[in-house]
Structure 1
Amino acid sequence: MSVSVELVKPSIEYKDEYLSFYKDWKFSKQDITPWVVKKDPSNFEAMIDFLYSEDTENKITNGNFVPHSTFWLIDRYSKKVIGAVNIRHRLHAKLLNCGGHIGYGICPAERRKGYATKLLALSLEKTKSMGLSKVLLVCDEGNIASEKTILKNGGQFESEYVEGNGNVVRRFWIHL
Structure 2
Amino acid sequence: MNRIKLVVPTPHYKEAILDYRREFIENGDSLDGTSGLKNTEIFEEWYSALCDNSKEETVREGLVPDSTYMAISNDDGRLVGMISIRHRLNDFLLRHGGHIGYSVRKSERRQGYATEMLSLALTECAKLNIYKVLVTCDNDNIASAKTIMNNGGVLENEISDAEGVSQRYWITLD
Normalised to the residue count of structure 2, the TM-score between the two structures is 0.91
Cα distance in 2 between the residues matched to 1:39 and 1:52: 16
What is the aligned residue count? 172
1:35 CA displacement = 5.2
**What pairs with 1:6-25 in structure 2 (closer than 5 Å)?**
6-25=5-24
Cα distance in 1 between the residues matched to 2:18 and 2:95: 33
Which residue of structure 1 aligns with residue 138 of structure 2? 140
2:158–2:167: 8 Å Cα contact kept in structure 1?
Answer: yes
1:158 CA displacement = 0.6
1:127 CA displacement = 0.8
Which residue of structure 2 aligns with residue 171 of structure 1? 168
| 1:9-37 deviation line (CA, Å, top 9, x unaligned) | 00112222222222222221222223523
Which residue of structure 1 aligns with residue 33 of structure 2? 34
1:52–1:69: 8 Å Cα contact kept in structure 2?
Answer: no
Which residue of structure 2 aligns with residue 103 of structure 1? 101
**Closer, same or farther: CA 98–29 of 1 in aligned 2, 3 Å:** closer
Cα distance in 2 between the residues matched to 1:66 and 1:158: 23
Superposition RMSD in Å: 1.7
Q: Which runs of 4+ in 1 moved over 4 A?
A: none
Question: Bigger shift: 75-84 or 140-149?
Answer: 75-84
Alignment-mate amino acid for residue 170 of structure 2: W
**What pairs with 1:12-161 in structure 2 (closer than 5 Å)?**
12-34=11-33, 36=35, 37-41=37-41, 43-62=42-61, 64-161=62-159
1:93 CA displacement = 1.6
1:60 CA displacement = 2.6
Task: Give the fraction of aligned pairs with identical amino acids, expressed as a percent.
Answer: 37
Normalised to the residue count of structure 1, the TM-score between the two structures is 0.90
SS of the residue 1:122 aligns to: helix
Unaligned regions of 5+ residues in structure 2, if any? none
Unaligned regions of 5+ residues in structure 1, if any? none
1:45 CA displacement = 2.9
